[in-house]
Amino acid sequence: MEQNIPSRIIKKRGRLLESGKSNAYRLVHGAGDGFKGFHLDRLGDYLLASKEGKPDLAEEEIARGWMSRLKSRGVYLKQLQKHVRHSNKECSSPKIWLGNAGQSETTIVENGVHYQIRFDEGYSVGIFLDQRENRQRWLQQKVNSRFTLNIDALKSGDILNTFSYTCPFSVCIAKSGLRAVSLDLSRKYLDWGKKNFQLNELHPETHDFIYGDVFDWMRRFRNRGRIFSGIILDPPTFSKAPKSKKMFQAERDYPDLLNLALDQFL
């Protein structure tokens, strides 16, 4: 089965495969790896394939190859949707495709940090792997080899994590010795975030978890004179508060979001 994986793809993933600090990362990256429209991620003991339609034979073969190499229990398939906002949780959740389905929850490790993943909670399973290196920057306390974060200076204020989702950034902030303020429209995801804190032996009660609209709360912070040592802005493409008539659209509204954030730096 492992021979189904092109050697060039294995070579690209060599550093991740050998690190020993992570079991969550991308294995097949669409057209860049010669599989246009098909993606495959490792998520702990399971793999997650993503495609708009049904995978073809070559895609199934490479999925089976990685499943054999990594001794994965099974492969879930997420059908990519153009209008995911209109799909219910059951329809948009990944379904088992190859192998055996286990518990709907599992724990992954990324750069030594543990996160809870759920395959039955809709389109997103609990973490966005494309932000791995940015999360690592908080853990390593440096932006790059020439720019080290001054953690002592950052301790003079909290770090605001907007659109925090299940709080992976907040966990890394907390592990760096800083206080995180997680802000999100979903109480469910904030509770999930607290679970991620506990998985890493962090105490969520010493950090803030705020339910509400990001724009509304950032205006409140500004009016109260509350400022932060750092602010994370990683918004979804679309977002809408339950009582709001206006939907947040990243392409249109990001400049306003950035201006609000700039008003609240130390």
Is residue 9 pLDDT above 80, yes or no?
Answer: yes
For residue 19, give the 3-state DSSP assignment.
helix
- Spatial CA neighbour of 238 closest among 52, 42, 93, 81: 81
pLDDT score recorded for residue 191: 98
- pTM value is 0.91
- Spatial CA neighbour of 196 closest among 217, 215, 180: 180
User: Considering the domain boundaries, does residue 108 fall inside one?
Assistant: no
Same domain, 65 and 177: no
User: Considering the domain boundaries, does residue 7 fall inside one?
Assistant: yes
Residue 75, strand partner residues: 47, 98
User: Considering the domain boundaries, does residue 118 fall inside one?
Assistant: no
160 exposed, middle or buried (CB, 10 Å; 0-12, 13-18, 19+)? buried
Residue 80 CB neighbour total at 10 angstroms: 13
In this structure, are strands 238-239 and 248-249 parallel, antiparallel, or unpaired? antiparallel
* Average of per-residue pLDDT values in the chain: 90
Q: Two tokens at 96? A: 């088992």
CATH of the domain at 167: 3.40.50.150
pLDDT score recorded for residue 255: 86
Q: Domain boundary at 103, 120, 140, which?
A: 103
pLDDT score recorded for residue 241: 60
Same domain, 133 and 179: yes
Is residue 39 pLDDT above 90, yes or no?
Answer: yes
pLDDT digits (tens, 9 = 90+) for 96-110: 999 988 788 999 999
Residue 98, strand partner residues: 75
User: Considering the domain boundaries, does residue 58 fall inside one?
Assistant: yes
Tell the residue number behind the tokens 């394939």, with chain if given.
49
Is residue 248 pLDDT above 80, yes or no?
Answer: no
Number of domains in the chain: 2
Is residue 86 pLDDT above 60, yes or no?
Answer: no
Using a CB cutoff of 8 Å and minimum separation of 24, what contacts does 193-196 make? 193/164, 193/165, 193/166, 193/167, 194/167, 195/116, 196/114, 196/115, 196/116, 196/166, 196/167, 196/168, 196/171
User: Considering the domain boundaries, does residue 117 fall inside one?
Assistant: no
User: Considering the domain boundaries, does residue 150 fall inside one?
Assistant: yes
User: Considering the domain boundaries, does residue 121 fall inside one?
Assistant: no
Same domain, 71 and 149: no
pLDDT score recorded for residue 127: 97
**DSSP string of 187-243?**
HHHHHHHHHHHHHTT--GGGSEEEES-HHHHHHHHHHHT--BSEEEE---SEE--TT
CATH of the domain at 48: 3.30.750.80
| Distance (Å, whole) CA 226 – CA 219 | 10
Q: What share of the chain is helix, strand, coil (3-state, %, to 5)?
A: 40, 25, 35
User: Considering the domain boundaries, does residue 8 fall inside one?
Assistant: yes
Is residue 84 pLDDT above 70, yes or no?
Answer: no
pLDDT digits (tens, 9 = 90+) for 162-218: 999 999 999 999 999 999 999 999 999 999 999 999 999 999 999 999 999 999 999
Same domain, 58 and 145: no
- Spatial CA neighbour of 258 closest among 237, 238, 231: 231
pLDDT top residue among 155 and 121 = 121
- The range of the structural domain enclosing residue 51 comes to 2-103
Q: Please, are residues 75 and 63 in contact by the beta-carbon 8 Å criterion?
A: yes
Is residue 124 pLDDT above 80, yes or no?
Answer: yes
